Amino acid sequence: MSLKDVSVRNAKPREKAYKLTDEKGLYLFISPNGSKAWRQKYRFLGKEKTLSIGLYPDISLSEARNARDKARKQLAENIDPGAAKQLLKRSAKDAAANSFEVIAREWHVKFLNRWTKEHGERILSRLEQNIFPWLGERPISEINASELLSALRRIEARGAIETAHRIQQTCSQVFRYAIVTNRAERNPALDLHGALAPVKKNHHASITDPNEVGNLLRAIDTYKGFFVTQCALKLAALFFVRPGELRHAEWTEFNFEKEEWRIPAEKMKMRETHIVPLSSQAIAILRELKALTGNGKYVFPSMRSQDRPMSENTVLDALRRLGYTPDEMTGHGFRSMASTLLNEQDWNRDAIERQLAHGERNTVRAAYNYAEHLPERKKMMQHWADYLDKLKKNH
């Protein structure tokens, strides 16, 4: 006799477990603790087996019957419904373990030591905000180019074109990692070449005309603000390192006897040790500054705390106080200034690029190349300091 909804609903627990039988092997198993579970008894290859369908009321009587009928169709096709269900569970578990988010986070941890702390955090944050919500749970082997493009289009639609391109590159690296770890067979990011709007190159504003460079240097000499900030401006011109590398400089990194500033790999964008040869002019500025900040950790401490470096906007704000707009000069502009003028003076391009700490693409050499072209770079850095002095005097 078949069950009724009311009898299922009103079934009460007893001292011992019992069952209410429906039809064609389906029954409701009631435990002493009150739980009610749908089960189906069936035979496969001569053996009696039990299929767990689910708990009531999560699974209604009609839904349990539909599951029973599906199992009976599988039996008619010589398929064990219990084994099929277990296989489906394992597949779902494998899919979750091999989802894009799981593999992307694994990749991120694997290669975290290649980036600065800030850059690594930025990479993960971009994925969390722009990719994981839409593709994070998808098995990475099933994601196609159309799905990835759809996610990237969301970024593009808000005008963040460069971010869309950067995230596409990151996703490509994740897919490559999945391929080499045998969890994907192809990289759909490669199919999207040319699919996104091109990035409009916005170069950092810089002064490269020698006469204007002289004017800038003279303006820096007249700066009336914090003395440490004035020194940072002078050394930004002499060192042409990235602004973040300059403001995080520590006294322990400087060796006046060897005439060099050795920046640890973990502070560099490309995660490689970087040597900045010190010109006599740079050493003179540093010795004067050391009397003021030498008892602390940072060469350029914050005005508010000796335990923190100066703000990332300090040099930029100082340039504004000197009358230079964002379209005329930036902290990064000192790098373009040096690159342009040193190339015009026919210095070895490789030595210039190495001094700018541009990325070494040969990973085998990357661990050893921080001293590459060093003798020539020492000559070049002293020449650069002398050249700036000449420009400052020629007015």
- Catalytic-residue membership of 304: no
Q: At what angle do helices 210-221 and 374-393 cross, to 10 degrees?
A: 80
> In whole angstroms, what is the distance from residue 348 CA to residue 378 CA?
12
What string of DSSP letters covers 46-62? TEEEEEEEEEETTS-HH
- Catalytic-residue membership of 242: yes
- Catalytic-residue membership of 335: yes
Q: How many CB atoms lie within 10 A of CB 382?
A: 17
DSSP 37: E
Tokens of 63: 């839904």
User: Going by C-beta distance under 8 Å and a sequence separation of 6 or more, which residues neighbour residue 357?
Assistant: 241, 242, 245, 268, 269, 270, 272, 274
Q: Which of 117, 258, 287, 368 is catalytic?
A: 368
What is the CB-side half-sphere exposure of residue 280 using CA atoms within 13 A? Answer: 5
Q: What are phi and psi of 83, to 5 degrees?
A: -65, -40
> In whole angstroms, what is the distance from residue 269 CA to residue 35 CA?
59
Tokens of 368: 């050893």
Q: Which of 176, 269, 320, 383 is catalytic?
A: 269
Q: Distance from CA of residue 338 to its chain's centroid?
A: 30
- Catalytic-residue membership of 373: no
Q: Which of 242, 271, 354, 378 is catalytic?
A: 242
- Catalytic-residue membership of 89: no
Cβ–Cβ < 8 Å for 51, 40:
yes
Helix (H) or strand (E) holding 36: strand 36-44
Q: Distance from CA of residue 324 to its chain's centroid?
A: 33
> In whole angstroms, what is the distance from residue 343 CA to residue 332 CA?
17
DSSP 115: S
Q: At what angle do helices 117-130 and 100-110 cross, to 10 degrees?
A: 180
> In whole angstroms, what is the distance from residue 366 CA to residue 332 CA?
24
- Catalytic-residue membership of 274: no
Tokens of 199: 């990035």
Q: Which of 36, 108, 267, 332 is catalytic?
A: 332
What is the CB-side half-sphere exposure of residue 137 using CA atoms within 13 A? Answer: 4
Active centre residues (catalytic):
242, 269, 332, 335, 358, 368
